[in-house]
Amino acid sequence: MDISKIKEQFKSLYGADGAVYTSPGRINLIGEHTDYNGGFVLPGAIDKALYCVIRPNGTAKVRAYAPDENPQTVAIKSEFGLEESDKPKERWAQYIFGVCREMTKKGAKIPGFDIIISGDVPLGAGMSSSAALESCVGFALNDSFQLGFDRFQIALIGQATEHNYVGVKCGIMDQFASCFGKEGSLIRLDCRSLEYEYFPFDPKGYRLVLINTCVAHMLGGEYNERRESCERVVATIAQQHPEVKLLRDADTDMLKEVAGKVSAVDYIRAEFVIEEIQRLLDTCELLKKGDYEAAGRKMYETHTGLSLKYTVSCPELDFLNEFAKQSGVTGSRLMGGGFGGCTINLVKDERYDDFIQKATDAYHQKFGIRAKVYDAVIKDGARKI
C-alpha cells in the first residue's frame, strides 16, 4: 500500500498534512460457528489493511473521501454533521458516522474533521474490511482527539456501529482481531467471557494463503436456522443440566443423553459445534509445540464437519478443499460463515507455486470462474504510522 500517495491526496484536497493510522483485516485459522455458542475463535490480524489520514477542520462537519470507491457506482466524497439526524447516504461513510455516534453516546466530544480512507483489504473476501474500517477510524479519532478509550472499547464501538448504523448483527471477533492483532501470533478469544490469550503463529517453511471462490450463494435463513438448532439442543440438555446455557457448556456425553429428544439435524449440528470448540483448543496446544502438520489436519477436520455436519459449504469450496488435500497441502478449510467465500490454506513453501497454479486452473475448468488468491501474513493490529 502506497501510504505516501494517500498523504499527498489528503494535502491536495484539504490543504494541509494529517496524521496517518491503520487497522488490518483478519483471518480465522479455526473455530467457525463457535462464537454465538459461547465458544472460542482463533483469529489473527493480517498484512492487508485500511488506512486513514485525518485532521480536525475547525467546523462541526466531517468531510470524508474514499479514493478506492468506484465513482461509477457510488459517490467517493461525503460530507455530514455529527448529530443523529445527519447520517450520510453513502454506505462506506455510514461506518465513519456510526463510529462517531457510538463514541459520542459514551461521552466523547468529537469536533469536525477531514479524513481520507484507503486500503488493500479485498472487499467481499471474508477478511473483514468493514471491521478494519471501523477500527481504523475509531483508533484515529481516539488518538487524534485524546478521547480516552482503550482498545477493547474501540472494538466494542466498532461492533455497535455494525449493529446500529449498518444493520449487521455481527459478533466481536472481527473488530477484536483488528484492534488486538500481534505480529507472529493468533488470538484465542473466549466469546463468552471475552478473555483472550496469544498463541504463537510463525510457521517457518509454510505460507498461509486464501483462495476466493468468487461465489456468494444466498444465505436466506440458513444462518438463523443453525443458531436455532443449537438453541433447541441447549434448551433440551438444560432440562437435565440446568448449568448449560450455551453449547460451550455441554459435552458429547450430555448431547448423547438427548439423542432421542431432538431432531437428527439439530443433533448433528450441535455435535459439530461441540467438536469444533475442542478442536480449536487442541490446535492451540499444537501451535505451542510448533506442530503445524497436526494443526493442518485439524483444519481439514473442521472443513469436513462444516460440509457434512453443519452443511454450510458449497460445491466450489468443497472442490478447492479436496484439491488441496490431494495436492498434499498441510491444511485447508472454508473460512467464514460458508456458502461461498474463501478457503484458508496452510501450504509448504516448496508446494506453493505448483498448488496455486494447478488449483486455480482446475477450479476455472470446473466452474468457469477465475479464483482470486491472497497471501496472508500475521501482523500487528490498529496503530498510528
Q: Return the pLDDT at 74.
A: 47
Q: Residues 107-133: pLDDT tens digits? A: 999 999 999 999 999 877 788 899 999
* For residue 75, pLDDT beyond 70: no
Domains of the chain: 3-202 (3.30.230.10), 206-376 (3.30.70.890)
Across the range 318-338, mean pLDDT stands at 96
pLDDT, tens digit, for every residue of 222-250?
888 999 999 999 999 999 999 999 999 99
Lowest-confidence region among 59-63, 76-80, 93-97, 167-171? 167-171
Catalytic residue (one of 174, 190, 253, 349): 174
Residue 2 known to be catalytic: no
Nearest CA to 330 out of 283, 380, 275, 379 is that of: 283
pLDDT for residue 68: 64
C-alpha torsion sign, points 85, 91, 93, 94:
positive
Q: Which residues of 101-129 are buried (b: 16+ CB within 10 A; e: fewer)?
A: bbbeeeebebebbbbbbbbbbbeebbbbb
Q: What is the pLDDT of residues 279-296, one digit of tens each?
A: 999 999 999 999 999 999
Whether 275 shows a pLDDT value over 80: the answer reads yes
Q: What pLDDT shows up at residue 222?
A: 85
